[in-house]
Amino acid sequence: MGSVVKPKAHLEDGRTLLVDTHVWIWYVDGAPLPEPLDALLRRADGEHRLIVSDISAWEVATKAGKGKLDLAIDSALWIQRAERMPGFTLVPLDRDLLLLSTRLPGALHGDPADRMIVATALLRACPLVTADRRIIEYARREKQVALSVIDAR
């Protein structure tokens, strides 16, 4: 059963958190975050409980290459630095994840990267930290999907 909660509800949870691409960028670049989200990410970071899908690295590079994401440095260097930050672990895409991303129940939009991120959260049974309205609505609507979302908005 899917669920959507605010960051404060997970402060004491202790589970690994999958961070969506935009949240990863915000955190790495030091963007101001709402206090409960900032506290949740900092705590999980300090306990090495933050994971990012490899597809997020692809998204960063793609968006930077198209001029849709303005980074202070080249995207390859940004990704290398972000990957070396303590607390974050990049997780690879594998065949099970890729197949699941094509078979998600219900109506999740067609963005392949978002589908792979949702599939990662499902296979790893960890909450997804996202501000993506479509993913949040999917988690609320699709009760047969055990997707736990932390609403970063």
Over range 144-152, report the average pLDDT.
Answer: 92
Residue 94 has which token pair? 């594998």
CATH at 57: 3.40.50.1010
* Residue entry with tokens 């990704």: 79
Q: Into how many domains does the chain fold?
A: 1
Domain assignment of residue 31, given as a range: 3-151
Q: What is the pTM of this model?
A: 0.94
* DSSP at 86: T
Residue 87: per-residue pLDDT:
86
66, 101, 122, 137, 147 from 108: Cα distances, Å: 25, 10, 14, 9, 12
Q: What pLDDT digit, counting tens, does each position of 42-63 carry?
A: 999 999 999 999 999 999 999 9
Q: How confident is the model over 64-96, as pLDDT tens digits? A: 999 999 999 999 999 999 999 888 999 999 999
Neighbour tally for 70: CB within 10 Å = 7
Computed from CA positions of residues 30, 22, 71, 69, in that sequence, does the dihedral angle turn out positive or negative? Answer: negative
Instruction: Over range 122-146, report the average pLDDT.
Output: 94
